[in-house]
Structure 1
Amino acid sequence: MKESLRRKIIEVCDKKIASKGENVGLSFYAFFANKNDDPELLMEAATWWIMENKLDHFEKALKIKGMIESV
């Protein structure tokens, strides 16, 4: 996974946790704007989320952050 994507995921998770609490859930779409301006990065996130880790559509931000930080 690209370092820029790792940083983005951690940043988004931190913001969501800070604003909505430790129990907040999110999907991989949370890491992108509502437009398809970087399809390669979107596919990288989707592949990691769906194919590599078999995650549900929504997962806890704390779980995702922990997974990214442990790699």
Structure 2
Amino acid sequence: MRASLKEKIIDICNKKINDKGLDAGLSFYAFFANKNDNPALLMEAAEWWIMTHQLDHFEKAVKIKKMVEEMA
């Protein structure tokens, strides 16, 4: 996963956690605007979320943040 996507995911997770608490959930769509302006980046996030880790549609922001921070 490219560094810019990692940073974006961590930033969004932090915002969700700060706004809604530790139980805040999100899907990979939370990392993108409501338009498909970067399909390659969207597919990269989707592949990581769905194919690589087989995550549910909604996951806890703290879980996603930890997974991304632990990536090499």
TM-score (norm: length of structure 2): 0.98
Post-superposition CA distance 1:4-49 (Å, at most 9, x none): 0000000000000000001000000000000000000000000000
TM-score (norm: length of structure 1): 0.99
Q: Secondary structure at the match of 2:48?
A: helix
Q: Which residue of 2 aligns with 1:44?
A: 44
For residues 41 and 50 of structure 2, the distance between their equivalents in structure 1, rounded to whole angstroms, comes to: 14
Q: Which residue of 2 aligns with 1:12?
A: 12
Question: Unaligned 5+ residue runs, structure 2?
Answer: none
**Matches of residues 12-31 of structure 1 in structure 2 within 5 Å?**
12-31=12-31
For residues 10 and 53 of structure 1, the distance between their equivalents in structure 2, rounded to whole angstroms, comes to: 17
Cα RMSD of the aligned pairs, angstroms, is 0.2
Q: Secondary structure at the match of 1:40?
A: helix
Q: Which residue of 1 aligns with 2:64?
A: 64
Q: Size of the alignment, in residue pairs? A: 71
Question: What percent of counterpart residues are identical?
Answer: 68
For residues 3 and 59 of structure 2, the distance between their equivalents in structure 1, rounded to whole angstroms, comes to: 21
